[in-house]
Amino acid sequence: MTETTSPEQLAASAPAHLPATASAGAPYRAAGPAETSPVVLRLERVGVKYGHRSAVDNVCMDIYKNRITALIGPSGCGKSSLLRCLNRMNDLIPEAAVSGRIYLDGVDINSDAVDPVQVRRHVGMVFQKPNPFPMSVKDNIAFGPKRLGLGSRGRINEIVEGALRAATLWEEVADKLDQPGTALSGGQQQRLCIARVLAVNPEIILMDEPCSSLDPIATLKIEDLMRELVREYTIVIVTHNMQQAARVSDYTAFMLASEHGLHGQVIEYGATKEIFTNPRDKRTEDYITGRFG
């Protein structure tokens, strides 16, 4: 099968009548001249190693503000590992080592000088399996603001309501605020987790396969929610559901690892419409049309 390609090889393999996508080491410039949104996250040569195993290699890409960016690829290609770099959650894994630079609004969040806890206030995360705290709905949402000292009790009540409204959950739980968070349905729990993240007002929201444990209706509700939220936030989503990536995202990055699940790289990154109607790399086309993975 395919061996890993460096950006140089990738550029050389692009069809002749299209401009080369990247030169050696330079970031992917996915945006055409029409993209007005600024770059909010810039990844330069980002890599993740677990012990001696390299899971992600040399990823360069830009994430644009107020856009939904999707990471797709077969299992084990490193997309979750890459996502977890963006809020330094890989720090929690002792044998994980993250290399490269990740610029959030110009500051390299991967440097030792930056406190990971601070990073996570600006970059929130929603997980694959909803994980409400064993507390009431209200306490779940209020937990973040309270612990981070975001205001008095009155202010926190406002924040709770605001977050629940933003997550389109308010109508459904307004009379159940004191019930345990775990008593809600799966889809509601996931929206609760989203509201929880919104309550601390991050800039970027990361979502790691947020709908994979939900039924189709709940999935669609969350997708609608994402399109609402992206007006104020920037969203990066990892999904193995290609139709979801096609429905929901503005930009899509296709990742692929080598045969042994090593050296995951971004093979192609561009506007979702282009990726799904006319991808440039054959591997992207093969993956999208189901010829492998």
Partner 1 sequence: MTVLATSRRHKRLDLLQRVVLSLTLLTTIVICVPVVIVSAYVISHGASAISWDFIFSGPVRAGRQGGFFPVIILTMYALLLVIAFAVPVGVLCAVYLAEYARPGRLLRLINLTIINLAGVPSIVYGLFGAALFFDVIHTKQALWVASATLAMQALAIIITSSREALLAVPRGIREGSLALGVSKLHTTFFIALPQAFPGIITGSLLAISRAAGETAPILVVGAIAASNVSLAPTAVVGERPQMLSYELYYRITEGLGLADERKWGLALVLLAIVLVFNMSALALRIKIQSGVRRN
Partner 2 sequence: MTRAMLERQLAGLQGDMFMMGEMVESAVERAVEALKTRDVELARRVIADDLNINRKRYDTEDKCLELIATQQPLAGDLRTIVSVLHVTVDLERMGDHAEGIAKIALMLADEPPLKPYIDIPRMADVAIDMLMSSLEAFKDRDAARARAICDQDDQVDALYEQVYHELLTHMIKDPASTQRATYLIWAAHNLERIADRVTNICERVVYLVEGRIEELNVSKY
The nearer residue to partner 1, 197 or 257, going by C-beta atoms, is 197
What gap in Å lies between CA 242 and CA 289, rounded to an integer? 10
Question: How far lies 220's CA from each of 191, 212, 215, in Å?
Answer: 12, 12, 9
Q: Is 196 in the site for partner 1 (CB under 8 A)?
A: yes
With a CB cutoff of 8 Å and minimum separation 6, the contacts of 248 are 68, 70, 223, 226, 227, 237
Q: Is 68 in the site for partner 2 (CB under 8 A)?
A: no
The β-bridge relationship of strands 251-256 and 68-72 is parallel
Q: Is 200 in the site for partner 1 (CB under 8 A)?
A: yes
Closest CA to 271 of 283, 279, 259, 263: 279
What gap in Å lies between CA 21 and CA 292, rounded to an integer? 24
Q: Which stretch binds partner 1 (CB under 8 A): 37-45, 118-126, 246-254, 275-283?
A: 118-126
Instruction: Kindly state the smallest distance separating residue 49's Cβ from partner 2, in Å.
Output: 33
Q: Which stretch binds partner 2 (CB under 8 A): 89-97, 136-144, 194-202, 282-290?
A: 282-290
Instruction: Kindly state the smallest distance separating residue 278's Cβ from partner 2, in Å.
Output: 3
260 three-state secondary structure: coil
Q: Which stretch binds partner 1 (CB under 8 A): 24-32, 142-150, 214-222, 225-233?
A: 142-150
Q: Is 285 in the site for partner 2 (CB under 8 A)?
A: yes
Instruction: Kindly state the smallest distance separating residue 130's Cβ from partner 1, in Å.
Output: 8
What gap in Å lies between CA 227 and CA 82, rounded to an integer? 23
Query: Out of partner 1, partner 2, none, which partner does residue 147 contact, by CB within 5 to 8 A per kind?
Result: partner 1
Contact 195, 133 (CB under 8 A): no
Q: Which stretch binds partner 1 (CB under 8 A): 7-15, 63-71, 89-97, 235-243?
A: 89-97
- Residues in region 147-176 near partner 1 by CB under 8 A: 147-148
231 three-state secondary structure: coil
93 three-state secondary structure: coil
68 three-state secondary structure: strand
DSSP-derived letter for residue 240 is S
Question: Considering all CA atoms of the chain, what is the largest pairwise distance in Å, rounded to the nearest integer?
Answer: 62
Instruction: Kindly state the smallest distance separating residue 223's Cβ from partner 1, in Å.
Output: 21
192 three-state secondary structure: helix
Query: Out of partner 2, partner 1, none, which partner does residue 263 contact, by CB within 5 to 8 A per kind?
Result: none
Query: Out of partner 2, partner 1, none, which partner does residue 90 contact, by CB within 5 to 8 A per kind?
Result: none
Query: Out of partner 1, partner 2, none, which partner does residue 14 contact, by CB within 5 to 8 A per kind?
Result: none
Q: Which stretch binds partner 2 (CB under 8 A): 37-45, 174-182, 196-204, 284-292?
A: 284-292
- Lookup: tokens for 206: 């990361």
Q: Which residues pair with 101 in a beta bridge?
A: 44
**Where do contacts with partner 1 occur on this chain (CB under 8 A)?**
87, 89, 92, 94, 117-122, 124-125, 127, 129, 131-136, 139, 143-144, 147-148, 178, 180, 193, 196-197, 200, 202
**Where do contacts with partner 2 occur on this chain (CB under 8 A)?**
17, 242-243, 246, 276-279, 284-285, 288-291
